Amino acid sequence: MARIEPFKGIRPPKNLALAVAAPPYDVLNSQEAKVLSEGNSYSFLHISKPEIDLPEDVDHYSDAVYEKGIETFKRFMKEKILVKDMTRNFYLYKQIWGDHVQVGLVAGSSCQDYQDGIIKKHELTREDKEKDRTRHVNDLNANTEPVFLTFKQRDSIDALFEKAMQKEPEYDFTKDDVRNIFYVIDEPDMVAAIKEEFRKIDYVYVADGHHRSAAATNVKIQREQENKNHTGNEEYNFFLTVIFPHNQMKIMPYNRVVKDLNGMCKAEFFHRIEEKFDYSETELKAPKKTTEFCMYIDGRWFLLKAKDGSFDKNDAVEALDVSILQANLLDPLLGIKNPRKDKRIDFVGGIRGTAELERLVDSGEFKVAFSLYPTTIEQLFKVADAGSIMPPKSTWFEPKLKSGLVIHSLED
């Protein structure tokens, strides 16, 4: 049974929503964020990545960065760039990207559910990033960016969402080719009905935002230990989430590029490929189904098909395309033992297209590129339900949720 709660959102007035809305903190490096926010003092990047307003040589994990974040957050509140709602609300966040439409519920999800495995994860977190987000939440006393959750679709919830969207939206703007439509659900009957329907959901899954989920839970555990009168209903028990039905998820591939052939000549490399794959030259630049890969090298594309017996079809993790490529080519042939740390490999989100793979290889910076078929939402569920962990860079969700449209304060 999933527990969700309405909350008093902190958000921009209608006329500032477009200016405030920004990409998530983890899809831009600091220099990109600095450039993107130039000339826009309202950009939420000033809160989510406060180092952009400090000297370039500042340590991103230094006290000065967190202090700057607090200072900017307070300024946004004082200048009414952000304003706190007076009532506890749910919110609906609808995104339209080309012909793709997704509608998610903005709610406070339970940290205890995360601890108990009702909110299931499928990725490991990095200690440095988890510590960073934990301090960010603790210092600002708020979840400033949402976690992207998904659940197995229910017609009853779809109907409630449709009913809630009959009113005038609070925000409706287009940014970065995505139309963002935002509704405030403040009708008590509708709030109660949504809460009741979500109680019927057995499990919710983290799609994107594992570090934010872990950080929120770290803060909850710390404050629970410090509060002798802890009840489980305090705001720190919940974190900011947008929860989408699984049939609206759009997952794109996470492609790979490698700098060299690990000392092999091209002929030897292709000979070794034949051990686990059938291959042929192709006009395709992206595979059409799972267990197939497109490889770009020396200006030509090749289709690789994993041979029977080269992986365990019944293992949730080993059957993933990212695992097949890693276990049968990247590791044994190219010597990429730990893709999390090896500097010879890089990852290219599918949003950037196969043209980016060609560019990187043609530039000479990389020797070979691989385009993959996207991991399916059913595969994600299977891995999470098995209590397993996906390899790094297995999924790329689009469109990304804009940050700054609503914040969850840890104070009532």
Would the pLDDT of 341 be above 90?
no
Q: What is the mean pLDDT of residues 223-245?
A: 97
Q: In this predicted model, what pLDDT tens digit does every residue of 245-262 receive, in sequence order?
A: 999 999 999 999 999 999
Helix, strand, coil proportions of the chain in percent (round to 5)? Answer: 35, 25, 40
- Return the pLDDT at 27: 86
**CA distances to 9, 21, 98 from 402, in Å:** 15, 6, 17
* Alpha carbons 371 and 298: distance in angstroms, whole number: 15
- Return the pLDDT at 392: 84
- Return the pLDDT at 166: 97
> Could you tell me where the beta strands, DSSP code E, fall in 313-372?
345-349, 368-372
* Alpha carbons 299 and 368: distance in angstroms, whole number: 10
Q: In this predicted model, what pLDDT tens digit does every residue of 109-152 receive, in sequence order?
A: 999 999 999 999 999 888 999 999 999 999 999 999 999 999 99
Give 164's contacts (C-beta < 8 A, 6+ positions apart): 92, 183, 185, 190, 194
Would the pLDDT of 179 be above 90?
yes
Q: In this predicted model, what pLDDT tens digit does every residue of 50-107 receive, in sequence order?
A: 999 999 999 999 999 999 999 999 999 999 999 999 999 999 999 999 999 999 999 9
Residue 1 pLDDT class (50, 70, 90 cuts): confident
- How big is the chain by its Cα radius of gyration, in Å? 22
- Return the pLDDT at 43: 98
- Return the pLDDT at 78: 98
Helix axes 210-226, 127-140, angle to 10 degrees: 60
Provide the 10 A C-beta neighbour count for residue 308. Answer: 8
Q: What is the mean pLDDT of residues 302-329?
A: 97
CA 40 to the chain's CA centroid? 25
Residue 21 pLDDT class (50, 70, 90 cuts): very high
Among 9-13, 312-316, 388-392, where is mean pLDDT lowest?
A: 388-392
- Return the pLDDT at 54: 96
For domain 254-373, the CATH class is alpha beta
Q: Where are the domains of the chain?
A: 4-250+398-409, 254-373
CA 131 to the chain's CA centroid? 18
Would the pLDDT of 404 be above 90?
yes
Strand arrangement, sheet containing 292-297: 277-281, 300-306, 292-297, 368-372, 254-258, 345-349
